Chain A
Amino acid sequence: MITATGERSASFPRWMILAMYGAYPAGLLLLEARDRLPAAVAGLALVTLSFVLAFRLWRSPWWRPGNAPEAELDERERALRNRAYQRAYMILATGALLALTYVQLAFDSDDRLRWWLPASYEEASRLFWGAFLVAITLPAALLAWDRERFG
């Protein structure tokens, strides 16, 4: 929401961050049960919820320090952004390393069927959009998470 003074006023509490990142994988698991319509509808609703919350984060005051060009930020916002970028890099790099390790182990395993790997364009696409969601929102989500400290 934009206030009369032009400021973005929508807050983004921690439960929304957890819901944003939790709803997407939970929704995908439910979508797998596509032969059961209620579960599939619930799955689609959860995936939609995840992107709706990402949109709300985009409208929150935390998006600007996490994503605006450096020239538009003051010294405090630059310091917050640098800290958020550092933490986001560590989280994403660790996640990528763990994912690659998993894939390596999956291919090395004799019992390959027990390790899940994307087997179709649709499954790879779901994985991609999940990674996209995390990568694009993480700096702003980290800033919102620490709002008590830096708000």
Chain B
Amino acid sequence: MDTRLPELRAERGWSQSELAERLGVSRQTVNAIEGGRWDPSLPLAIRIARLFGHPVEAIFLMPPEDQA
């Protein structure tokens, strides 16, 4: 899954560690989400969306072939 998380995080000037602390996850998990190696659960995706003030679908982008 593609994500705009690195871009949104950069806009706020947060490091991965800072974002991880705000979300209550490890820095490695933020790194894995940003690198597309881990798809967050729905509760975590909603926490991320609320933190950045965007809808979930504006942060996490489904590849065209997966869109119904």
A sample of 23 inter-chain contacts (CB < 8 A) reads: A5-B17, A61-B28, A74-B24, A74-B26, A74-B29, A75-B25, A75-B29, A75-B40, A75-B41, A75-B44, A76-B25, A76-B28, A76-B29, A76-B32, A76-B38, A77-B26, A77-B28, A77-B29, A149-B37, A150-B32, A151-B28, A151-B32, A151-B37
B20-50 vs A: 1/0 string, CB under 8 Å? 0000111111001000011011001000000
Expressed in whole angstroms, the Cα–Cα distance for A150 and B35 within the complex equals 10
Range for the number of chain B residues in contact with chain A: 10 to 19
- Interface size band for A: 10 to 19
Kindly provide the distance from the CB of A73 to the nearest chain B CB, expressed in whole angstroms. Answer: 8
Chain B residue with the shortest CB-CB distance to A76: B29
- Contact residues of A with B, CB < 8 Å? 5, 7, 61, 74-77, 149-151
Contact A7 B32, beta carbon cutoff 8 Å: no
